[in-house]
Chain A
Amino acid sequence: QQQVKQSPQSLIVQKGGISIINCAYENTAFDYFPWYQQFPGKGPALLIAIRPDVSEKKEGRFTISFNKSAKQFSLHIMDSQPGDSATYFCAASNNQGGKLIFGQGTELSVKP
């Protein structure tokens, strides 16, 4: 009930391409879905987040698509850059506890 499943585990994209990372959740009580970016040796940093009352949210090159009926959400990185190379985690939480449940992470490598 508490799991968040993330795929792919690793992703290689050419500079300028689109990176797509997918997540699926089970607990229908989740109502906050953030994406975190983590560079080696650093703590995770919030990239973008969505709540289930909208199906899409865009901030710059980053877009979250949310499908409530399928219990899935995804991160799209447009015009991917080498500086985007990092590990990306999706997460979910609910207001009954607030604690973040993380996906397994995706290691993104953007090749010049």
Chain B
Amino acid sequence: DAMVIQNPRYQVTQFGKPVTLSCSQTLNHNVMYWYQQKSSQAPKLLFHYYDKDFNNEADTPDNFQSRRPNTSFCFLDIRSPGLGDAAMYLCATSGWANTEAFFGQGTRLTVV
């Protein structure tokens, strides 16, 4: 059974058109993460939540925002996607700091 579910699996958006990616979890984990993974590269952390406490990475562009309305759901908003934002976006959860992180299948974003 899927534990971290990302929707959609594939998303095509127009240059500059806002897009939202979603993630839900059935694990009741406190921590949720968003990673960006470009082709043949390692996942790069964008931000994460400890419960409702939002933690932004210093080098995450302002173009990327996130919302976590409750424990189960987390959203990634890209306000004005550029061609360089085309990537796989991965959501992950963990029970607390320093424990196993469970990843979703990812959303592959294409910007045209």
Contacts and interface: CB of A to CB of B under 8 A. Distances in A.
Interface of A: 31-32, 34, 36, 41-46, 49, 89, 93-105, 107
Contact of B45 (A42, A49, A100): A100
Contacts of A96: 97
B34 to A, nearest CB: 11
B1 to A, nearest CB: 15
A32 B101 CA distance: 11
Contacts, number: 65
A44 B97 contact: no
A32 B102 CA distance: 15
A52 B70 CA distance: 34
Q: Determine the main DSSP class of A at the interface with B.
A: loop
B15 interface: no
Given A46-B101, A104-B42, A105-B42, A99 B106 contact: no
Given A98-B31, A102-B42, A46 B100 contact: yes
B36 to A, nearest CB: 12
Given A93-B98, A98-B96, A43 B106 contact: yes
B90 interface: yes
A93 to B, nearest CB: 5
B97 A42 contact: no
Contacts of B105: 42-43
